[in-house]
Amino acid sequence: MTAKKLFIKTYGCQMNVYDSERMAEAMGGEGYEVTDRPDDADMILLNTCHIREKAAEKVYSELGRYKGLKAARPDLKIGVAGCVAQAEGEEIMKRQPMVDLVVGPQSYHRLPELTARTHNGAKAIDTDFPEEDKFAHLKGRSKAKRAPAAFLTVQEGCDKFCAFCVVPYTRGAEVSRPADRVVAEARDLVERGVREITLLGQNVNAYHGHEGGLAGLIRALDKIDGLARIRYTTSHPNDMDEALIAAHGDCEKLMPYLHLPVQAGSDRVLKRMNRQHTAESYLRLIERLRAVRPDLHMSGDFIVGFPEETEEDFRDTLSLIEAVEYGSAFSFKYSERPGTPAAERPQVPEDEKDDRLQRLQALLTKQQRALQDAMVGREVQVLFEKPGRLPGQMVGKSEYLHAVHVESSDLAAGDLARIRIASSGPNSLKGVGLGA
């Protein structure tokens, strides 16, 4: 029997990457194999994200590209999953009647059942927040060999209700997976070649599936033989407890890199955002983290042009960035999200947003380059993941998440090797091998 083919296009964050993997596995049990060509597919699935500007319109535009395929092959199934599916629901089918199924991020374990409903031309939609644990209903993961680094979702949803964010409405309330199931999945990943695991959650340090919180889970994972590295993302400053801070100092497998979004450096703007922390409390938190791990590299998120942000507010954000010295960051102009409190407030003119974003990104780029240039001459441990573009070149990640290129015929994917950094480029480092 010829296998059916599934094409998945993934938008957005690492959690969507993980979700797409699990969707593929769920459909694999129904005889589907993943393809990277939509024109070869028997089913096209868009796994969507609602965070960025005009997210829904981008999905509708993408769907429009598949009209010709659907017209030529009426049996082709087209589905929309993820956060736009949750937010738009039946509106997707109204605007694009060729869509066969719509499934929210908490219901994708039902994907095979929903697909079965469409075989006679019916439509299927599921955007509920089911009581059952979707992870418990997903089939066991394939035993195929995996890449050296993998994502592992441990927490979903958010209870913070930041004024700009749709996550509480599309992903629901905070829920955590039981620690024993997370550890079992991690062991399975390691058995298939994974050496680095990044724990994922919309608010991952609010994890409560272990009696010791996220720190307790990290310490449980630290005991897995063969697992060399642990990371986690994304976090909220208010959930960085003492146990997790301590883990950064004494858990060897926890890497010295932390993504800790602050969004703004003005207390007035932070209050309007409903962030429930101040710029000063954020800075003191980083001081405590660096006290236990002095070489910790920080990453952050920033929104410029939040409603009613003044030039003085913006300069406060620049001052915070100067104080922290970020190794990397993600920065965006504020964009309205219908249904969120901030969307109803007076908006900053687009030209001011553009100007502020350019100035903020220039400062962040300067800091990133300075910290990257400071790596030259240092020795780091690199986990190699894949061949580079040049013959004999391998590419991997340092402890600090820097991309490192090394020319060596002795290295392979999955190797962890000591490397001396020889030079710094715009977005990566070049190193020389020193042995294991």
- DSSP-based three-state secondary structure for 346: coil
CA angle (268, 272, 277) in 5-degree steps: 70
13 belongs to an annotated ligand binding site: yes
Q: How far is it, in rounded angstroms, from Cα 433 to Cα 410?
A: 9
State CA 325 to chain mean position distance: 22
Between the alpha carbon of residue 317 and those of residues 53, 300, 352, 356, the distances in Å are: 22, 12, 15, 10
CB 81 within 8 A of CB 10: no
Q: What is the DSSP string of 225-261?
A: TT--EEEEE---GGG--HHHHHHHHH-TTB-SEEE--
Q: How far is it, in rounded angstroms, from Cα 328 to Cα 348?
A: 26
Secondary structure percentages of the chain, helix, strand, coil, to 5 = 40, 25, 40
Between the alpha carbon of residue 176 and those of residues 93, 99, 127, 286, the distances in Å are: 32, 32, 20, 25
251 belongs to an annotated ligand binding site: no
Amino acid at 358: Q
The strand pair at 403-407 and 124-126 is best described as unpaired
CB 305 within 8 A of CB 356: yes
Alpha helices in 149-230 (DSSP H): 167-170, 179-191, 213-222
- Per the rule left: phi > 0, alpha: psi between -120 and 50, beta: everything else, 109 is alpha
DSSP state at residue 263: B
- DSSP-based three-state secondary structure for 6: strand
CA atoms within 13 A on the CB side of 433: 19
Give bridge partners of residue 44 from the DSSP assignment: 7, 78
Q: How far is it, in rounded angstroms, from Cα 330 to Cα 358?
A: 13
Q: How far is it, in rounded angstroms, from Cα 424 to Cα 200?
A: 29
CB 219 within 8 A of CB 179: no
Q: Which residues are annotated as a binding site?
A: 13, 49, 83, 158, 162, 165
Q: Which residues are annotated as a binding site for [4Fe-4S] cluster?
A: 13, 49, 83, 158, 162, 165
